[in-house]
Amino acid sequence: MTLDLARFPRAELGVWPTPLQEAPRLGVAAGTEKLLLKRDDVNPLGAAGNKLRKLEFLLGDALARGADTVVTFGARQTNHGRLTAAACARLGVRCELVLTAKVPRDGAAYDTSGNVLLDHLFGARVHICADADDTARTYERVMAEADGDGRTVATIPVGGSNAIGTLGYVAAAAELAQQLDTAGVPSARVVVAMGSGATAAGLALGFAVLGADHRVDVACVGMPATETEAEVSRLVTETAALLGIDAPPLGHVRYDESVLGPGYGVPTDRVWEALRTFGTTEGVVLEPVYTGKAAAGLLGGGYVGEQVVFVHTGGMPGLFAYAPEAVVAVTARR
Ligand SMILES: Cc1ncc(COP(=O)(O)O)c(C=O)c1O
């Protein structure tokens, strides 16, 4: 089946395709010489990353509905919030970020640097909330203010993960399948981190719809495998409905919760080691919340001899939020 996404409004935010690169020295470290990096971290807007693909559809939809204000949510160091702020700046739309303290981290680096600094740089209004109740109250207040000003609001969920956002990674699946085809790779294991789900769901749905023989290995970075799988399946079902097709079976998707560690936003020694390995073998920067955990899975020994694509989903600013512990972890063995 082919994929026709042209009927969905799309804001032009990125440069496509992103590079698909060989990574031979990293491949040796991972036990496979057949390792490719899909560089979704590389794009000019707002120190990009995977959210850009979702935002093309989410903001395309918002603009088509006449929105002049975008409200979205996330953890304090959300990459999605930072890229939403950058995209709103580019499109001339007001951005309100309602952020919740979800990660057991504080201090100047975590509270003010990394993505938080960039949120301000891109002109977003940043609301820091203590917990879920505070978040709900703040959202109500932001909406009431917008209503009072006569503004039209588009509310985007955490991580941009709904059916419309998932279309961004359905498109990415088609892009990657085409690149792999050109590279003469008929079948690959595609390794990707799952936070709010649309990235993994879009890849899984896209490969299935295209009939491409690629599997998706989902690194559970925020919740256990059962919850991660339920969320990915829900997004696949909702996005298939949006596309007007039946939800495909998801036998080509598997989940790795061995990398989760103590929970969302809490790195383990394996994660820091993975950051060091990517840096020292290929000069590629990961961060400890998403890509670092997915990379820990990649380097865990389960891919010997396999053709693998590691999807680099970006998030570099988040590394600097962890600077104090990152410096200790990364320089410890030098
Ligand atoms: C850098 C990075 N990688 C991966 C993910 C996971 O993507 P998704 O939320 O679509 O599961 C996120 C977002 O949460 C992210 O910021």
Per-residue pLDDT of 279-326, as tens digits, reads 999 999 999 999 999 999 999 978 998 999 999 999 999 999 999 999
In the predicted model, what is the mean pLDDT of residues 5-16? 98
Quick one: average pLDDT of 240-248?
A: 97
State which ligand 1 atom lies nearest to the alpha carbon of 197: 11
CA of 222 to the centre of ligand 1 (A): 10
Could you report the per-residue pLDDT of 253-276, keeping only the tens digit for each?
999 999 999 999 999 999 999 999
Q: How far is the CA of 288 from the centre of ligand 1 (A)?
A: 12
Residue of 42, 79, 239 with the most ligand 1 atoms within 8 Å of its CB, for mutation: 79
Q: How many CB atoms lie within 10 A of CB 260?
A: 21
Place of tokens 């000003």: 149
Q: What is the pLDDT of residue 86?
A: 98
**Any idea what DSSP says for residue 1?**
-
Listed residue (319, 59, 80, 62) closest to 196, CA to CA? 80
**Tell me: the pLDDT tens digits for 50-68?**
999 999 999 999 999 999 9
| Residue that the structure tokens 């109500």 belong to | 140
Task: Answer whether 172's CB lies under 8 Å from 214's CB.
Answer: no
CA 228 to ligand 1 center in whole angstroms: 13
CA 54 to centroid of ligand 1, rounded, Å: 11
Q: What is the mean pLDDT of the chain?
A: 96
Tokens of 281: 């073998």
At 106 the pLDDT is: 86
Q: How confident is the model at residue 145 (pLDDT cuts 50, 70, 90)?
A: very high
Query: What spacing in Å lies between the alpha carbon of 46 and ligand 1's midpoint?
Result: 15
Residues near ligand 1 (Cβ within 6 A): 49-50, 79-80, 159, 161, 193-200, 290-291, 313-315
Question: What contacts 312, CB < 8 A, 6 or more positions away?
Answer: 37, 38, 39, 40, 41, 42, 284, 286, 291
88 Cβ contact partners less than 8 Å away, ≥ 6 residues apart: 59, 70, 94, 95, 122, 123, 124
pLDDT at 55: 98
